[in-house]
C-alpha cells in the first residue's frame, strides 16, 4: 500500500499488478489539491503521506503504533491518526461532493502530497468502482454521484538486450552485413 515510486521497481510482480489496478481521481482536502489520490480496495485504511500533512500544517489527532499491510504486500508504519478529514471530489457534472474519513499518516518518501482512499472510506460512501468505465459511483445523503477515475501506466523497465543485435545496431551494420555475421 502506498509505495514510493522508488519501491515500485523493486517489488514483485504482485506489486505491479497492484499498481496497475489502482484508480486515480482528483481530490482536495481543504484548499489542497492532491494529484496523487487513488482508490485502493485492497487496503483497509486510508492514508495521507507526510507531504500532505506538512502542506496542510496539521498535527495528528492521535498517535498510533501499528503497521499497515495493503494489497501491495508492502508494510508501512503508521505515524499518526487523523479523524473526520474532509475529502472533496467532483462528479462527472462538476458538482463538488465532500465526505469525511479517518486516515493514518505514513512516510512513503514521496515529495508530492498523496491520498490513499482505502476500504473504510469506500464503504462509508457506498462506493462501487468500475475501472472498465473509469468511474467510481458513490452514494451520499441519499444521492448518487459518478466520479471520473483514471489509471496510470506502470513505469516500464528496459527490456533485456540481445547482445548480437545490440552490437549490430551500435556498429551501424547494414542488414546484409548483419546476416553475414
Radius of gyration of the chain (CA): 21
**Predicted local confidence at residue 81, as pLDDT:** 85
Does the domain at 5-179 match CATH 2.40.70.10? Answer given as yes
Q: Are strands 46-49 and 36-39 parallel, antiparallel or unpaired?
A: unpaired
**Predicted local confidence at residue 119, as pLDDT:** 94
**Predicted local confidence at residue 172, as pLDDT:** 54
Per-residue pLDDT of the chain (181 residues; tens, 9 = 90+): 444 444 444 545 555 555 567 899 999 999 999 999 999 988 888 999 989 999 999 987 766 665 555 544 444 555 778 999 999 999 999 999 999 999 988 888 889 999 999 999 999 999 999 999 999 999 999 999 999 999 886 555 555 555 554 454 455 545 455 455 5
**Predicted local confidence at residue 4, as pLDDT:** 41
**Predicted local confidence at residue 152, as pLDDT:** 83
**Predicted local confidence at residue 103, as pLDDT:** 93
**Predicted local confidence at residue 96, as pLDDT:** 96
Asked if 92 and 149 count as a contact pair (C-beta separation under 8 A), the reply is: no
20 backbone dihedrals φ, ψ, rounded to 5°: -70, -15
Is 107 buried (19+), middle (13-18) or exposed (0-12) by CB count in 10 A? Answer: middle
**Predicted local confidence at residue 154, as pLDDT:** 58
Amino acid at each position: 500500500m502506498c509505495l514510493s515510486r522508488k519501491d515500485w521497481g523493486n517489488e514483485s510482480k504482485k506489486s505491479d499488478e497492484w499498481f496497475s489496478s489502482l484508480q486515480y481521481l482528483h481530490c482536495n482536502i481543504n484548499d489542497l489539491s492532491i494529484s496523487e489520490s487513488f482508490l485502493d480496495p485492497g487496503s483497509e485504511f486510508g492514508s495521507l503521506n507526510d507531504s500532505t500533512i506538512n502542506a496542510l500544517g496539521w498535527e495528528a489527532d492521535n498517535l498510533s503504533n501499528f503497521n499497515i499491510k495493503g494489497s501491495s504486500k508492502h508494510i508501512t508504519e503508521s505515524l499518526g491518526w487523523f479523524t473526520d478529514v474532509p475529502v472533496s471530489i467532483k462528479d462527472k457534472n462538476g458538482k463538488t461532493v465532500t465526505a469525511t474519513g479517518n486516515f493514518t499518516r505514513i512516510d512513503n518518501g514521496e515529495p508530492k502530497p498523496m491520498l490513499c482512499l482505502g476500504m473504510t472510506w469506500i464503504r462509508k460512501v457506498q462506493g462501487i468502482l468500475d475501472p472498465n468505465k473509469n468511474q467510481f459511483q458513490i452514494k451520499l445523503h441519499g444521492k448518487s454521484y459518478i466520479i471520473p477515475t483514471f489509471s496510470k501506466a506502470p513505469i516500464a523497465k528496459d527490456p533485456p538486450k540481445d547482445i548480437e543485435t545490440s552490437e549490430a545496431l551500435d556498429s551501424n551494420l547494414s542488414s546484409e552485413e548483419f546476416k553475414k555475421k
